[in-house]
Amino acid sequence: MRYLITFSYDGSKYNGYQKQVNVRTIQEEVEKVLTIINDNNSVSISASGRTDRGVHALNQKAHFDLKINITSDKLKMAMNSMLPNDIYVKKVEEVEDDFHARYNVKNKEYIYKINMGEYNPIEKDYIYQYNKKLDIEKIEKAIKFFEGTHDFKSFTAADDIRDNYERTIIKTDVRLENDVLTMTFVGTGFLRYMVRNIVGVLIEVGEGKRKIENIKEIFEAHDRKEAGKTAPAEGLYLKDVYYR
Amino acid sequence: MRYLITFSYDGSKYNGYQKQVNVRTIQEEVEKVLTIINDNNSVSISASGRTDRGVHALNQKAHFDLKINITSDKLKMAMNSMLPNDIYVKKVEEVEDDFHARYNVKNKEYIYKINMGEYNPIEKDYIYQYNKKLDIEKIEKAIKFFEGTHDFKSFTAADDIRDNYERTIIKTDVRLENDVLTMTFVGTGFLRYMVRNIVGVLIEVGEGKRKIENIKEIFEAHDRKEAGKTAPAEGLYLKDVYYR
């Protein structure tokens, strides 16, 4: 039986989502628990995509197959009783055998949070502590330049070599609440570091260090060096994954 | 010269405010840094009061004396450059030699946060994950019974032996935002565990397990056993300290 889970996690104590040797990862914690539930037959999970070290998820999705028979409700309870308390399964669904949590993605939604107010130690792992004012009107204008279909090569990890860097951002949003700026990006797919590199440029625009018109040139350069710094991981959340 | 600092901290990685042998405490971290700044002459700080293990502070206050001459601005910068990133000095003021951060307190303000919505791993150290609905109308009525001057012996730690358990709560408030209930308590002073024990009773009232009228009986019993469970530390914040 194939299951799809919706789960949230605090990424601050993990070395990212994807399993690696000798470091703590979200994937490994979930697979460890599922293997026990599956009568010690090993289970591999396929997520909608990885999240990098320190990045959080509000609604990550992953599918996997189990040999045992277990209802969705019982599986949810069993997983949550064994998972560390910074990973939580919100929903378990039974899905068709050919459902794939990554290949079937229609859209993904990310949010990025920046504290423009005073440094707050309580939120240091959850909101980027920028702690200075940014020109929000400029950022609101600039973020629109990222909507639509573009070649995002300048906004991905420099060592990310692939044939196609074209992605479509279908919606963006900027919201301010109590000095915390939240930027939203909904798109068909995201390259590695893409959101954090876009946010890096938007911060430079908000600082007045980069002109809005310059964004077009960054796209055209097809070169990571043209964009700004990668914004820190702790402000980034995978908020939702939508399927076809 | 005597200084008064206003500082915030994430209590989740500390064994409480007050210095103890062999464990990490807020007081020790602050004193360690001040001793270095004070040309390695040891510095003792006096806070408005302790906070227990896992409890946070948004505006804790403490005073201390330094042998060296340093401006408030420079002292703030020096402290923040050396303190761990989960403790932050928000303000440094020069005060009179007879100012005392504990004896001069007029009022203190605490808030307690409860998540009545779904478990959220990202806020597990910062909001009590109760994850069930509470009857807020009942809680709003019940919290008023704690206002005024009372003998709070039933609401303090069982081993807290002292002559006088009388304290005055001058203001309470209950607020709901996105499934998070925030209770506010402003009072002239608080006994150990007092806020968390009051919240424990309020939760029982909100669950329908305890009648509002029963609160009077708890006060009259002068016995910790009459009150409910102590609410967990992670929901509690020392929000403000006001001086005469």
Given an 8 Å threshold on Cβ–Cβ distance, is A121 in contact with B85?
Answer: yes
Which of the four pLDDT bands, split at 50, 70 and 90, describes residue A171? very high
Mean pLDDT for all residues in chain B: 96
Query: pTM of this prediction?
Result: 0.93
pLDDT at B173: 98
Radius of gyration for the alpha carbons in chain A, expressed in angstroms and rounded: 19
Between the CA atoms of A188, A192, A195 and A196, what dihedral angle is there, to the nearest 10 degrees? 180
Mutation pick from B122, B238, B239 vs chain A, by most beta carbons of A within 10 Å, is: B122
Which residue from B8, B119, B122 is facing A126, i.e. has the nearest CB? B122
Backbone angles phi, psi at A230, to 5 degrees: -75, 125
**Shortest distance, CA A115 to any CA of chain B (angstroms):** 15
Given an 8 Å threshold on Cβ–Cβ distance, is A121 in contact with B90?
Answer: no
Strands A166-177 and A56-65: unpaired
Given an 8 Å threshold on Cβ–Cβ distance, is A8 in contact with B121?
Answer: yes
Given an 8 Å threshold on Cβ–Cβ distance, is B124 in contact with A90?
Answer: no
Residue A162 confidence (pLDDT) above 90: no
The encoded tokens of residue A192 equal: 């590695």
Which residue from B85, B90, B121 is facing A87, i.e. has the nearest CB? B121
Contacts of B54 (CB under 8 A, 6+ apart): B11, B12, B16, B125, B232, B233, B234
Which of the four pLDDT bands, split at 50, 70 and 90, describes residue B158? confident
Mutation pick from A59, A76, A122 vs chain B, by most beta carbons of B within 10 Å, is: A122
Residue pLDDT, tens place only, B100-113: 999 999 999 999 99
pLDDT at B160: 80
Q: What is the DSSP letter of B225?
A: G
Rounded average pLDDT over A193-209: 97
Q: Give DSSP secondary structure letters for A57-110.
A: EEEEEEEEE-SS---HHHHHHHHHHHS-TTEEEEEEEEE-TT--TTTTEEEEEE
Q: Which residue has the higher pLDDT, B160 or B37?
A: B37
Give me the residues paired with residue A168 across strands: A149
* Chain B partners within 8 Å of A90 (Cβ): 118
Q: What is the ipTM of this complex?
A: 0.90
Contact A208, A135 (CB under 8 A): yes
Domains recognised in chain A with CATH numbers: 2-95 (3.30.70.580), 107-242 (3.30.70.660)
- Does B169 lie at the interface with A, CB-CB under 8 angstroms? no
Q: How many CB pairs under 8 A join A and B?
A: 44
Mean pLDDT for all residues in chain A: 96
The encoded tokens of residue A7 equal: 């789960």
Residue A54 confidence (pLDDT) above 90: yes
Residue pLDDT, tens place only, B37-78: 999 999 999 999 999 999 999 999 999 999 999 999 999 999
- Does A121 lie at the interface with B, CB-CB under 8 angstroms? yes
Residue pLDDT, tens place only, B213-236: 999 999 998 888 888 899 999 999
- Of all residues in chain B, what percent are helix, strand and coil, respectively (each to 5)? 30, 30, 40
Rounded average pLDDT over B114-131: 98
pLDDT at B169: 98
Residue pLDDT, tens place only, A60-99: 999 999 999 999 999 999 999 999 999 999 999 999 999 9
Residue pLDDT, tens place only, B167-180: 999 999 999 999 99
> Could you count the other beta carbons within 10 Å of the beta carbon of residue A65?
15
Q: Which residue of A has its CA nearest to B89?
A: A119
**Shortest distance, CA B12 to any CA of chain A (angstroms):** 9
Rounded average pLDDT over A162-187: 96
- Does A243 lie at the interface with B, CB-CB under 8 angstroms? no
Residue B91 confidence (pLDDT) above 90: yes
3 state SS of A16: coil
Cα separation, A172 vs A199, in Å, equals: 12
Rounded average pLDDT over A211-215: 94
pLDDT at A110: 98
- Does A179 lie at the interface with B, CB-CB under 8 angstroms? no
The residues of A that are catalytic are: 52
Given an 8 Å threshold on Cβ–Cβ distance, is B58 in contact with A126?
Answer: no
- Does B119 lie at the interface with A, CB-CB under 8 angstroms? yes
**Shortest distance, CA A123 to any CA of chain B (angstroms):** 8
pLDDT at A152: 95
Which of the four pLDDT bands, split at 50, 70 and 90, describes residue A225? confident
Given an 8 Å threshold on Cβ–Cβ distance, is B121 in contact with A10?
Answer: yes
Rounded average pLDDT over B114-119: 98
- Does B10 lie at the interface with A, CB-CB under 8 angstroms? yes
* A90-107 b/e (C-beta count within 10 Å ≥ 16 → b): bebeeeeeebebeebbeb
Q: Which residue has the higher pLDDT, B181 or A163?
A: B181
Rounded average pLDDT over A187-203: 96
Cα separation, A93 vs A1, in Å, equals: 11
Nearest to A121 by CA among B211, B135, B106, B87: B87
Rounded average pLDDT over A143-159: 93
The continuous run of DSSP H or E covering B56 comes out as strand B56-65
Give me the half-sphere count of Cα atoms (radius 13 Å) on the Cβ side of residue B215: 23
Which residue from B80, B88, B124 is facing A85, i.e. has the nearest CB? B124
Strands A2-9 and A87-95: antiparallel
Q: Which residue of A has its CA nearest to B56?
A: A122
Given an 8 Å threshold on Cβ–Cβ distance, is B87 in contact with A121?
Answer: yes
- Does A10 lie at the interface with B, CB-CB under 8 angstroms? yes
Which of the four pLDDT bands, split at 50, 70 and 90, describes residue A227? confident
Which residue from A80, A87, A124 is facing B86, i.e. has the nearest CB? A124
